[in-house]
Chains A and B, each alone.
Chain A
């Protein structure tokens, strides 16, 4: 019989880590050894995760591509599937399909400067890219990370920033600062004040709420960054992950199969402009 790509592969929750009040990172291990060994992904790709009885939803993979036994996803409690996921404990069984989609253009950006812009939980799909860059640091030039969150409490991967800072430039901002917050405040675009485009050999990758990606893209375009070097990851209702269900279609493209990572020169001619 034909292999059924709709069937989730069983997996176990290995560990759960609290990131913020409503966000957790789940470390997941696929049970079947063969399936586990053939599970390779590019940073930026996503999985369809099943919480049995609750349904299935797409989540970006957030672990390093060099981690083989497990992979991780970071989840904010939003809909039914995430609500179901938050009820689970370590050792509980879930289902996984994928990885799906097209990830970040790693080969293209090698040897260049890279500006990474993340907003809120949008840092999740960028994390594996950052970790890839750090592990292959000499393959990349200047790397800058701009990250914005709503409040200091909403910052995810808090403990990682100090490690990352040893390898790349990191700038943080929050929309609503509290007293003991010494850093920037305002939307992530405030971080662009001191940022200058020094060469043409720079790529930007971003993921965040649609409104953030809209303004960051406008900002980069106004700084004359080439449209084909501005990459972002789109969030859509990706039900099947394979371009069948039609729900993620945007401007005639299947975000699940042809994306979720696109560059601006690809999407600017979409009839439905996504950013």
Chain B
């Protein structure tokens, strides 16, 4: 039986998404019998010529990474963006920082960038989230082996939150972004009373203006990183 070659690569990131994959340990051990998995962070330096599926985690923050990414693209049949950083550039990770303040204190850092990988190469599929949902990863993985592209999840975090019969955080005056955020995370944050901060990107046709209006009516301060998320509106997830 021909082995299917899978590559897992990491650009600028915390590598938390790869940890999520490693968390699939039981299943992975079985799968390793069938697949050849190569990953730089996993240690193997001997590169194969080509990959059937390459997963890329992390965003592009340097020219080197850009070149690296383009090389991976050339060698891969399917390229999957793994996690918030690869899908959207990880913008939201600076949500706790005041970007204006950074620029003020470190002049010249305007040249700093953190870009999603689809700015440089074509992507077959996106697995969003910070970190990714390991079950979603596995579903996508199995599907790609069949050359099937699972529908990009189109529901909202809200619609998964209600299935858990949670009480709405917005009603409690908390700036939750669940209503405009792509689902697939099973609403894990709101379930633990933590507001959704939109790590999976905007849902299809997200009504950001509507949510801002709702926040206004309820005297809720919108999170500062919402502008970062909306700035990339119009782009694919």
Q: Chain A contacts of B147 at CB under 8 A?
A: 83-84, 87
Count CB-based A-B contacts (< 8 Å). 14
How far does the alpha carbon of A54 sit from the alpha carbon of B147 in the complex, in Å? 9
Q: Mark B139-151, 1 if CB is under 8 A from A, else 0.
A: 0000000111110
How far does the alpha carbon of A84 sit from the alpha carbon of B144 in the complex, in Å? 11
Whether A80 is near chain B, meaning CB under 8 Å from some CB there, is yes
Q: Which residue of B lies closest to A55 (CB)?
A: B148
Q: Which residue of A lies closest to B150 (CB)?
A: A80
How far does the alpha carbon of A23 sit from the alpha carbon of B164 in the complex, in Å? 44
Question: Which residues of A in the span 181-237 have a Cβ within 8 Å of any Cβ on B?
Answer: none
Whether A252 is near chain B, meaning CB under 8 Å from some CB there, is no
Report A55 CB to chain B, min CB distance, Å. Answer: 8
Q: Chain A contacts of B149 at CB under 8 A?
A: 80, 83
Q: Which residue of B lies closest to A84 (CB)?
A: B148
Q: Chain B contacts of A80 at CB under 8 A?
A: 148-150
How far does the alpha carbon of A53 sit from the alpha carbon of B149 in the complex, in Å? 12
How far does the alpha carbon of A182 sit from the alpha carbon of B148 in the complex, in Å? 40
Q: Chain A contacts of B148 at CB under 8 A?
A: 53-54, 80, 83-84
Question: Which residues of A in the span 73-115 have a Cβ within 8 Å of any Cβ on B?
Answer: 80, 83-84, 87
Report B155 CB to chain A, min CB distance, Å. Answer: 14
Q: Which residue of A lies closest to B145 (CB)?
A: A53
Q: Chain A contacts of B146 at CB under 8 A?
A: 53-54, 84
Report B146 CB to chain A, min CB distance, Å. Answer: 6
How far does the alpha carbon of A80 sit from the alpha carbon of B144 in the complex, in Å? 11
Residue of B147, B148, B149, B150 with highest tally of chain A CB at under 10 A? B148
Report B63 CB to chain A, min CB distance, Å. Answer: 36
Residue of A80, A83, A84, A87 with highest tally of chain B CB at under 10 A? A80
Q: Chain B contacts of A83 at CB under 8 A?
A: 147-149
Report B119 CB to chain A, min CB distance, Å. Answer: 27
Q: Which residue of A lies closest to B143 (CB)?
A: A80
Q: Which residue of B lies closest to A53 (CB)?
A: B146
Report B159 CB to chain A, min CB distance, Å. Answer: 16
Q: Chain B contacts of A84 at CB under 8 A?
A: 146-148
| 6 A-B pairs with C-beta separation under 8 A | A54-B146, A80-B148, A83-B147, A84-B146, A84-B147, A87-B147
Beyond the given pairs A53-B148, A54-B146, 4 more chain A to chain B contacts, judged by CB atoms under 8 angstroms and listed by A's residue number, are A54-B148, A80-B150, A83-B148, A87-B147
User: 9 smallest A-B Cβ distances: which pairs?
Assistant: A80-B148, A54-B148, A53-B146, A83-B147, A80-B149, A84-B148, A83-B148, A54-B146, A84-B146
